[in-house]
Amino acid sequence: MRRLLPGPASPAWVAAETLGAALAALIGLLFVARIIGPEAAGIGAVASSAFLTADVPISALFGDSLLQRQGLEERHRSSAFWVTMLVAVSGTLALWLLAPLVARATAMPVADMIRALALLLPVSAAGGMLSALALKDRRYRLLALRVLLCQPLAVAAGVGAALAGAGPWAMAAQQAAVTLSVFLLLAWRAGWRPRRLLRRDAMADLWPVAGPQVLAVTVFYGRYRLFIIGLGMLVTEAVVAVTHVAFRLLDVALAAINGAAMRLAAPRLAALQHDRTALAEAYGDLAQLQALIGLPMAAGLAITAPQLIEILMGGPWQAAAEPARLVALAALPIFLVGPAPSLWLALGRTRMNLWMTLIAFAAPLLGLVLLRPQDAGSAAICWALGSVIVPPVQVLLVLRALGRPVSWLLRRQVAPLLGTLVMTLVAMGVAREMAGQPAITALLAIGFAGALAYALVVLPALGFRWPRALQEA
């Protein structure tokens, strides 16, 4: 059996992780939300958002700087681990104290749930550190097992709790199960234990990259959490839940694709940081791969959102279809830029990531303040502002750093752009013909026709070969 499986560093594991993460996120979030209902799902979404706002930056505190650094020593690894643990404990205390404030601000009973989730922060931080070290060594199989083994366990825990009548606490049960199981898996298989080292010089080596990068990560992941909390101050629990489901439908795709791109791009670009010609070529190949996967997925979600919502969630959630379609369309430009965050990390210019995420953070929140949405559709318009503003700025900065013209990047994107255009036309035509048919029948017909059209365009354009980003992995 072991001979039949790809090697530990094979990109095939990245593909397996991407697909597994997408399916687990869809089944886990949407099935749990469907069982507990819109009001309970809205409460759970606010509590989870508060927890993840603290969890994501702490878990990623030194991970990217360890990945980027050449000549990594034990003093760097162990010092980073213990500092991360100290920050995680501080974060637990801060969430514990802030939980009642979030509950009062949103007028939702979320304080106890936030406090319970806060206890997971040190465990999650340790898992994040071990994941970063595994990624530096390109141990893609171990990283994939976090999804293929731990996510089904978490989904089962969430669905089980929901069926047992736990209400919004079912979402907390799912989060606890995935956090604990991922940590146990990595602690067992990572092959590294921290030593009793806490060196100031090691922190001085890591912080110039880690400081701006962790702020960028905080803003990037926290912007949606804060957006949901802010929206909860303006609308009812049901509207928050519908908006959350609509956005998560796309976020599943975005997280899977961006996560896969980061797994492939970050270690590869970091290794080429001193060879600008090879760096540019690798970036172009990775940008093409990201567009080949991301463009048809976003367009497909925009076309099939009504059918997906009806199948996955049922009638009470149908209002999520149009907001999901809008944010999916707004995400299309993101997939044309390429793995820009990994490039800035490789070059040690993590302040670029911070500036880009600050723009993406400010635009939706400004939209909330100015537009004051009262329904999910208006909230989607606010959220889409960041997706429209950032990509043009990002691509110009990337091309300037690589010393390449816009035409160089466009040549790489001809195949995915043309394939997505043809796919969209064919899928929309089939969608019109299937109007009034059962949702599952329409979804299968649209998906099959669109996938076939995309393949018939893209495969000849690539010379019936794997994309270069996978050939050279």
- The pLDDT-based confidence of 400 (bands split at 50, 70, 90) is very high
Single out the residue of 108, 117, 121, 218 nearest to residue 171, CA to CA: 117
- The pLDDT-based confidence of 4 (bands split at 50, 70, 90) is low
Specify the pLDDT at position 357: 83
| pLDDT single digits (tens) 404-453 | 999 999 999 999 999 999 999 999 999 999 988 898 999 999 999 999 99
Distance CA 287, CA 297 (A): 15
Residue 258 has pLDDT above 90, yes or no: no
Q: What percent of the chain has pLDDT over 90?
A: 35
Residue 23 has pLDDT above 80, yes or no: no
Specify the pLDDT at position 281: 93
- The pLDDT-based confidence of 306 (bands split at 50, 70, 90) is confident
User: How many residues are given for the chain?
Assistant: 473
Residue 276 has pLDDT above 80, yes or no: yes
- The pLDDT-based confidence of 1 (bands split at 50, 70, 90) is very low
Q: How many CB atoms lie within 10 A of CB 205?
A: 20
**Over residues 73-97, mean pLDDT:** 94
Find where tokens 């700087």 sit: 65
More confident of the two residues 20 and 332: 332
**Over residues 299-306, mean pLDDT:** 90
- The pLDDT-based confidence of 324 (bands split at 50, 70, 90) is confident
Q: In which element (H, E) is residue 434 found?
A: none
Segment 359-365 long-range contacts (CB within 8 Å, at least 24 positions apart): 359/386, 359/389, 359/390, 359/393, 360/219, 360/220, 360/223, 360/386, 360/387, 360/389, 360/390, 361/219, 361/220, 361/222, 361/223, 361/386, 363/389, 364/223, 364/227, 365/223, 365/226, 365/227, 365/230
Identify which of 84-93, 129-138, 156-165 has the greatest average pLDDT.
84-93
| pLDDT single digits (tens) 7-16 | 777 777 776 7
Single out the residue of 171, 181, 176 nearest to residue 32, CA to CA: 171
Distance CA 26, CA 255 (A): 12
pTM of the model: 0.71
Strands of 32-163, DSSP E: none
Residue 472 has pLDDT above 60, yes or no: no
Residue 376 has pLDDT above 80, yes or no: no
Lowest-confidence region among 84-98, 159-173, 228-242? 228-242
Q: What is the mean pLDDT of the chain?
A: 85
Specify the pLDDT at position 348: 85
Q: On the CB side of 460, how many CA atoms lie within 13 Å of its CA?
A: 7
Both tokens of 462, joined, read 């690539």
Q: What is the 3-state secondary structure (H, E, C) of 243-274?
A: HHHHHHHHHHHHHHHHHHHHHHHHHHHHHCCC
Specify the pLDDT at position 427: 95
Residue 90 has pLDDT above 90, yes or no: yes
Cβ-Cβ contacts under 8 Å for 83 (sequence gap 6 or more):
61, 62, 198, 203
- The pLDDT-based confidence of 26 (bands split at 50, 70, 90) is low
Residue 30 has pLDDT above 70, yes or no: no
